[in-house]
Chain A
Amino acid sequence: MISDFCKKEDFPIFKKKFNGKSMVYLDSTATTQKPKQVLDAIVNYYEGSNANVHRSVYKLADDATELYENSRSNVAEFIGARSNEIVFTRNTTESLNLLSFTIGESLRKGDRILITSMEHHSNILPWMRLEERGIYLDYVGFDKEGHLDIEDLKSKLKRETKIVSVTHQSNVLGTINPIEEIGKVAKENGSTFIIDAAQSVPHMPFKMKEQYDFVAFSGHKMLGPMGIGVLFGKYHLLEEMPPFNRGGEMIKDVDFHSAIFEDPPIKFEAGTPNVEGAVGLAAAVYYLKKIGMEEVRSHEKHLTSMTLRKLEDLKNVKYYGPRNAEERGGVIAFNVKDSSNLGNDLESKNVKVDRLYHSHDIATFLDERNVYVRSGHHCAEPLMRSLHLPGTARASFYVYNGEEDVEAFVSSLGEL
């Protein structure tokens, strides 16, 4: 296992057997499994401290509020931010939608938003909706190995580009983008710089920098429960923004026809918040900190380079993204060539077709061997279009995976 602080036994789900065999879970990019420590924190919250937060004055409510706010501080400290810069949301998608419906609304006709061709739909669709109002959406391309084309980025950065929103790590190619550099260029241009960190904060040390205006990520992709996400925002920016949702909790004073909103971050947390989610996320953060994020990164890098080496030995397998594990995270999208002969009329016309197995067939084949990988377009269709692919299979790693999982994956794939 990765370290003394992370054992497979910490994760109750891995006790589950299918046809008497353990599972090889390689889909942590979609969601991660949860350690007992996180599950216990949630149960303990409900058994010992459950009350609504920020409302009542009795002891139990104070307990709940303290737990919720301590969770916020823990998450803030984890990424090098201040507590009042951390807004709890449902997930990365909601964090980015919050931005679209606040700062996005302040854009005018002719303004531009710059994203990349390797974004997840959650960092495309919230911006695409603004095109209806005459706002332009530009895409930065990438090279054959999946590195972002920085020159293309610079050339597409215009005076009208008000927002630059970039994924830190691609959920398909695995590419780790140079966000420090991109952020600098964006800020020199006077643009607001947003990072989709859904695939980076869980997997590597994340250091907050002056040029980062907003950072979005999800709890469930970092050992925490589903339904809790984070939006970091610089305090002065959060202060200037209008609220996203309105209702309970987020007000200081309400009159018949006017209201004074709470200060950030509460201004953006209308209604009863997901306290169990925040508490579970804080437990996940604690678990990751005990392992150490440097250790998490180097563990995944080791598994990734081991897998890439083995895949290169399988002649019919093609993987996508950088070949160097230094430049990518622990996510490997791949396809497998189908050498069986389909009675396709292209073949009869002597056209050489490099047929690929459909990614769902690869995933079902591996499923029969208890190896769980994702298949399809991974919520990144523009990326698939750029690669001219209908989809790929995808294996991804996290702290609970070991070399034995790589062996099981590659040997099963070899049987195809």
Chain B
Amino acid sequence: MYNDEVMDRYQNPAKNGKMEDFEIKIDEASSTCGDRIVLYIKTDGNGRISDMKWQGEGCILSVVSTDMFCENAIGKEINSLKEQDDLAFVENFPIKISPGRINCVMLPLRAFRRGTKEK
């Protein structure tokens, strides 16, 4: 299914697991597909991400997108992550996404934007 890069990350996610000393915790649930994802975020105190992990379950695309998001976020500013373009975000995913599955890939970015609104 999908391609090797996607399936490898699905089976061996890099950033899956609980974080104890997080600063921000975001619970995201998508009622339309039953996905439930928690994002744990740690910052360097200056608005830059120092670590990010996730827990939960979802479809392969939302899990892989979330895991990539956590890994890619490290060292980046919260604001620049929030302001990235939706279309570019979806296009950066390793495989082409059909319109019906865009929400799956967008899940971590939407959660991140919502959970860091006032940060």
Please say whether chains A and B are actual partners in one complex.
yes
Q: In residues 63-94 of chain B, which contact A (Cβ within 8 Å)?
A: 63
Q: Which of A214-222, A250-258, A341-349 contacts B (4 or more CB under 8 A)?
A: A341-349
Across the interface, B33 reaches (CB within 8 A) one of A345, A391, A416, namely A391
Q: Which of A137-145, A162-170, A259-267, A356-364 contacts B (4 or more CB under 8 A)?
A: A356-364
Compute the total of residue contacts between A and B using a CB distance below 8 Å: 59
B61: chain A residues at CB < 8 Å are 360-361
Query: Is there contact, CB below 8 Å, between A345 and B16?
Result: yes
A345: chain B residues at CB < 8 Å are 16-18, 55
A376: chain B residues at CB < 8 Å are 32-33
Query: Is there contact, CB below 8 Å, between B31 and A343?
Result: no
Residues of A within 8 A of B (CB): 340-345, 357-361, 364-365, 367-368, 376-377, 381, 384, 389-391, 416
A-facing mask of B1-32, CB < 8 A → 1, else 0?
11000010011110011100000000000011
A390-B34 contact in complex given A361-B1, A365-B1, C-beta closer than 8 Å: yes
Taking the closest CB of chain A, its distance from the CB of B58, in whole angstroms, is 7
Query: Is there contact, CB below 8 Å, between A341 and B101?
Result: no
Across the interface, A342 reaches (CB within 8 A) one of B13, B18, B33, namely B13
Query: Is there contact, CB below 8 Å, between B1 and A343?
Result: no
Which 7 A-B residue pairs are closest in the complex by CB-CB distance?
A390-B34, A358-B59, A360-B59, A361-B60, A365-B1, A361-B59, A343-B12
Give Cα distance in the complex from A1 to B118, angstroms. Answer: 61
Query: Is there contact, CB below 8 Å, between B33 and A360?
Result: yes
- Closest residue to B14 on the A side, CB-wise? A343
A-B contact pairs, 5 of them (CB 8 A): A345-B16, A358-B59, A361-B60, A376-B33, A391-B34
Query: Is there contact, CB below 8 Å, between B11 and A342?
Result: yes
B58: chain A residues at CB < 8 Å are 358
Query: Is there contact, CB below 8 Å, between A416 and B55?
Result: no
B60: chain A residues at CB < 8 Å are 357-358, 361
- Closest residue to A353 on the B side, CB-wise? B57
B2: chain A residues at CB < 8 Å are 364
Taking the closest CB of chain B, its distance from the CB of A81, in whole angstroms, is 37
* New contact pairs (12) apart from A345-B55, A367-B98, CB-CB < 8 Å: A340-B7, A340-B11, A343-B13, A345-B16, A345-B17, A360-B100, A361-B59, A361-B60, A368-B1, A377-B33, A381-B31, A391-B34
- Closest residue to B7 on the A side, CB-wise? A340
Give Cα distance in the complex from A345 to B63, angstroms. Answer: 14
Most chain A Cβ neighbours within 10 Å, of B10, B17, B33: B33
A342: chain B residues at CB < 8 Å are 10-11, 13, 16, 63
Give Cα distance in the complex from A367 to B98, angstroms. Answer: 11
Query: Is there contact, CB below 8 Å, between A360 and B104?
Result: yes
- Closest residue to A365 on the B side, CB-wise? B1
- Closest residue to A343 on the B side, CB-wise? B12
Query: Is there contact, CB below 8 Å, between B33 and A358?
Result: yes
Taking the closest CB of chain A, its distance from the CB of B18, in whole angstroms, is 7
A358: chain B residues at CB < 8 Å are 33-35, 58-60, 62
- Closest residue to B67 on the A side, CB-wise? A343
Give Cα distance in the complex from A368 to B98, angstroms. Answer: 11
Give Cα distance in the complex from A391 to B57, angstroms. Answer: 13
- Closest residue to B29 on the A side, CB-wise? A390
B63: chain A residues at CB < 8 Å are 342
Give Cα distance in the complex from A391 to B16, angstroms. Answer: 23
Give Cα distance in the complex from A343 to B15, angstroms. Answer: 10
Taking the closest CB of chain B, its distance from the CB of A128, in whole angstroms, is 16
Query: Is there contact, CB below 8 Å, between B1 and A416?
Result: yes
Across the interface, B34 reaches (CB within 8 A) one of A361, A365, A389, namely A389
A344: chain B residues at CB < 8 Å are 16
A377-B34 contact in complex given A343-B12, A364-B101, C-beta closer than 8 Å: yes
B101: chain A residues at CB < 8 Å are 360, 364
Taking the closest CB of chain B, its distance from the CB of A201, in whole angstroms, is 28
